[in-house]
Structure 1
Amino acid sequence: MADWMKKVPQAARDYVEGKRLDEVECIISDLPGIARGKAVPAKKFAGQSYFHLPDSIFYQTITGGWGEAAGDGGFIEKDMVLRPDWDTATAAPWTGDWTLQVIHDAYDIDGNAIEYSPRNVLKRVVELYRKKGWKAVVAPEMEFYLVARNIDPAKPIEPMMGRSGRPAAARQAYSMTAVDEFGPVIDDIYDFAEAQGIDIDGITQEGGAGQLEINLLHGDPVALADQVFYFKRLIREAALRHDCYATFMAKPIGDEPGSAMHIHHSVIDIETGQNIFSGPQGGDTDAFYHFIAGLQNHMPAAIPLIAPYVNSYRRYVRDHAAPINLEWARDNRTTGIRIPISKPVARRVENRLAGMDCNPYLAIAASLACGYLGMMEKGRPDAQYKGDAYDGEEAIPREMSAALDIFDEAKDLHEILGPEFARVYSIVKRTEYEEFLGVISPWEREHLLLNV
């Protein structure tokens, strides 16, 4: 066994035990959450402690264009130093040979963390909690669709064909029969996850046609973001094996519910191990209310990180399984901020605003940053909402440009996430928005071509 293999998790060692490791994928998340990096022969990987990629990977838009975010130094594509985080080594079980993946962290040549690398953004926020004596804990829920293959962008997305030979049906939430329709895909998801050493808390059918939800066990924010990052690729690969696509678009089908990445948060006192949201007698604490207030006060500015594309805003539709405001309530799925039923030790705050199209590092960082600001400001939230929050006022930006305007003014949030990250992110997202505005949609051709 190579010396570096002694540093990786047991699941990775078990996966290649008795096998000839062929390749190692050295990867890092860009701003959209796409895995960038290099595939390296295992023998060469054993002899390297880092590799280089240009910093321009963080200036790239989802279309492959470039934002003018290089700063005063100009677009010279400086090399970054990417070093492996051995704890992230895991299998790539869908490949044709024996391959491992390793997530890397990005530094400049002087050893400073690259501020606009998404994983570094989340680490920065988690460290702020640690300096206060707190350990942030999160649990993400991932919703996604299994859809028929779609190689023509002008063609609407359709549900996949189920095992029965019929297209997946909507309005079958929590149906076990509906889950069985996707049995072969789900079997591969379970097998891939087991090979990667990732624990799944459960899989359920959601309300959309071919829409599923996977819950992950709660834990460290960076580790959970790593799992979501890995899971998106895993699920896509499992789907392709069965002649369908997995999509994480926030709103892939117009008359079906959107796909969310709900984020559950709690905060632990490092010294005592106690949940700071619960008092000695099990009641709500001031920190609990401050955290909620932080989400209410600062989440509007953070929307571009949890709703990062023009399609993201199609999900925020009244009475359609996604929040339209930042009301909070206990055991109420119509609010943007929900307090699930739990024992005091597990008291947590659920942010229901993030779409599944988000970069998990940035969405979790943004949500934790808003809660942190609330606990620093010690404000109080609005009164708990009673009834159906869809009857309340909308309080979320409805399109990307407006959301970015609010984000650009949020200097307190920028200080938490990193001012240089905020600068680069805004430039790249505005570039994407301009790219979108340059495309004439089928709706425009249908309704405007001959009618105006």
Structure 2
Amino acid sequence: MVSAQLQAQLEAQAIEVLHVGQFDYAGVFRERRLGRAQFEAWARAPRFANTLPKWDCADNLFAGGPYLTETVAIDEASLRRYPFEANAGLIIADFSGDSASLMPRAVLRRQIERAAAMGFAVQAAFEFEVIFLNETAESLRASQYAAPRQFAPDNKCWSGQTAAEKAGFVGDLVDLIEAHDIALFALAGELGPGCFEATLGAVDGLRAADNAGLVRQAIRAFARGRDMTASFMPYIGPGYPSIGGHINLSLADAATGANLFTDPQGQTNELARRFIAGMTRLVPEAFALCAHTVNAYRRFAPGSWAPKSLTWADWTFTTAVRSAPSAFDDARLEFRLPGADCNPHLALALMLGAGLDGIEQQLVAPDPTPNLGPDDIQPGAARFPATLAEAADRLQAGADAARVFGQGFVDHFAGVCRVESNSLARAVSAAELARYIEG
């Protein structure tokens, strides 16, 4: 049922249309559009199709039935504006039956509840790099995705010239993002042709992941409205940078709100180091949670900026965890491994679950490595999986992953990753043909 409080919110915001749904494994918001009266009628016994955890990013079913509608629970706190039409809102309804434990948002919620039981409130924010292309959905398919036409081909990293030339473009995009009730810290040009970065503002953990999923939807829609494509593919190919979806996180005292990573001397404090220690142990084992596509592993090829093992240091861009220590309330840890296509809920669940493990078990972090390059491996460090198939095997074999995230989810998600890996197992690129066809 729709509570009196939610009804009052709908009235106050003059919402007459609800886009109601939930996020799938690709981080895509799958929804139904309902008029206000239809929403209230549906909400008496709400249900949603249980195919979401049973299909891949191309909408191909891979798991057995039954295929039916399962019960869902409406998260009334998730209500926000939906700026693509007048008097519209968006609200999330999560599975509450058999599929509940398999869904990314539920995996994250369990880690946030775990943090709360330890006395912590979670604050987080995502940074997404995105590449804009001068291609429509039709032109990409007509060219068979070959040599996509660039937008802002002369862009240089943090270029004031790009900022000046594209000020209207950026300003319009900022307006659209903020109209989703998404906290935005900055949006600016980044490294490479058509590359921009949206840095979101810090909010509570579940809202942060919701914001991350919806900001990509907003950016993609913005681009399509201008006959362009916004790509979050981690590596498009030669001539383009690899792009990330970094996560910034801090733990606060649940009672006082004080940032617990803050240090009077502006150093990475003991709690943050234990958090890093937990990531050092669990992330290599459960790596698939932050890299669940075949293309995500292209980003970790030699010569890229992406680190190849779990390293950390203060302020250093070439490490997997970049600590941003502070004597003020902005102290945080930045997880630099997820690609721009990551599932925000699972990537944040990985970071948080691993860090909480380190705190609970009082693990000791390795020494910081400010001088290592991204291709350098810290002595004794576990390397990350080289392929999605390897990541799936490590995840399913991992005792710590099963303990933290649940055996049922781990088994199912490992299967999801294998389906994704197998989908491209026989694919042959133009580069492979050029190298081998006449050999």
Structure 1 length-normalised TM:
0.88
Cα displacement (A) at 1:79: 2.5
Cα displacement (A) at 1:129: 0.6
The counterpart of 1:316, out of the listed 292, 297, 300, is: 300
Q: Tell me, which stretches of 5 or more residues in structure 2 are unaligned?
A: none
Deviation per CA, 1:203-251: give whole Å up to 9, x if none: 1211121111111111211001111111111111111121111111111
The counterpart of 1:403, out of the listed 386, 391, 410, is: 391
- Matched letter for residue 135 of structure 1: A
CA–CA distance in structure 2, aligned partners of residues 367 and 191 of structure 1: 30
Cα displacement (A) at 1:98: 4.0
Identity %: 24
What is residue 43 of structure 1 aligned with on the other side?
Answer: 37
What is residue 433 of structure 2 aligned with on the other side?
Answer: 445
1:27 lines up with 2:21 in the alignment: yes
The counterpart of 2:131, out of the listed 145, 165, 168, is: 145
What is residue 334 of structure 2 aligned with on the other side?
Answer: 350
Cα displacement (A) at 1:391: 5.6
Deviation per CA, 1:84-136: give whole Å up to 9, x if none: 222222233224x543221111111xxx7710111111100100111111112
- Matched letter for residue 155 of structure 1: A
CA–CA distance in structure 2, aligned partners of residues 328 and 361 of structure 1: 23
Q: How does 1:246-261 map to 2 (within 5 A)?
A: 246-261=230-245
CA–CA distance in structure 2, aligned partners of residues 391 and 107 of structure 1: 43
1:332 lines up with 2:316 in the alignment: yes
User: How many residue pairs were aligned?
Assistant: 429
Cα displacement (A) at 1:341: 4.9
The counterpart of 1:225, out of the listed 189, 209, 212, is: 209
SS of the residue 2:100 aligns to: coil
SS of the residue 2:249 aligns to: strand
CA–CA distance in structure 2, aligned partners of residues 225 and 191 of structure 1: 20
Q: How does 1:7-406 map to 2 (within 5 A)?
A: 7=6, 17=14, 21=16, 23-49=17-43, 50-68=45-63, 70=64, 75-95=65-85, 98-108=87-97, 114-149=100-135, 150-151=140-141, 152-160=143-151, 167-170=152-155, 172-278=156-262, 284-390=268-374, 392-393=376-377, 395-406=383-394
CA–CA distance in structure 2, aligned partners of residues 319 and 419 of structure 1: 36
Conserved in 1, the CA contact under 8 Å of 2:314 and 2:324? yes
CA–CA distance in structure 1, aligned partners of residues 304 and 435 of structure 2: 25
Conserved in 2, the CA contact under 8 Å of 1:27 and 1:36? yes
| Aligned alpha-carbon RMSD (Å) | 2.5
Q: Tell me, which stretches of 5 or more residues in structure 1 are unaligned?
A: 161-166
Cα displacement (A) at 1:284: 4.3
- With over 3 angstroms needed to count, the CA separation of the structure-2 counterparts of 1:104 and 1:436, relative to structure 1, is same
Bigger drift between 278-287 and 341-350 goes to: 278-287
- With over 3 angstroms needed to count, the CA separation of the structure-2 counterparts of 1:32 and 1:8, relative to structure 1, is farther
Deviation per CA, 1:269-295: give whole Å up to 9, x if none: 223433333457765443221111111
Deviation per CA, 1:285-309: give whole Å up to 9, x if none: 4322111111111111222111111
- Matched letter for residue 312 of structure 1: A
SS of the residue 2:196 aligns to: strand
What is residue 164 of structure 1 aligned with on the other side?
Answer: none
Structure 2 length-normalised TM:
0.90
Conserved in 1, the CA contact under 8 Å of 2:267 and 2:326? no
SS of the residue 2:257 aligns to: coil
What is residue 424 of structure 1 aligned with on the other side?
Answer: 412
Cα displacement (A) at 1:424: 1.2
SS of the residue 2:284 aligns to: helix
CA–CA distance in structure 1, aligned partners of residues 48 and 95 of structure 2: 9
Deviation per CA, 1:139-195: give whole Å up to 9, x if none: 2111111112123334133322xxxxxx4324x111132134444442332222232
SS of the residue 1:404 aligns to: helix
- With over 3 angstroms needed to count, the CA separation of the structure-2 counterparts of 1:5 and 1:218, relative to structure 1, is same
- Matched letter for residue 107 of structure 2: V
Cα displacement (A) at 1:430: 0.3
Conserved in 2, the CA contact under 8 Å of 1:66 and 1:428? no
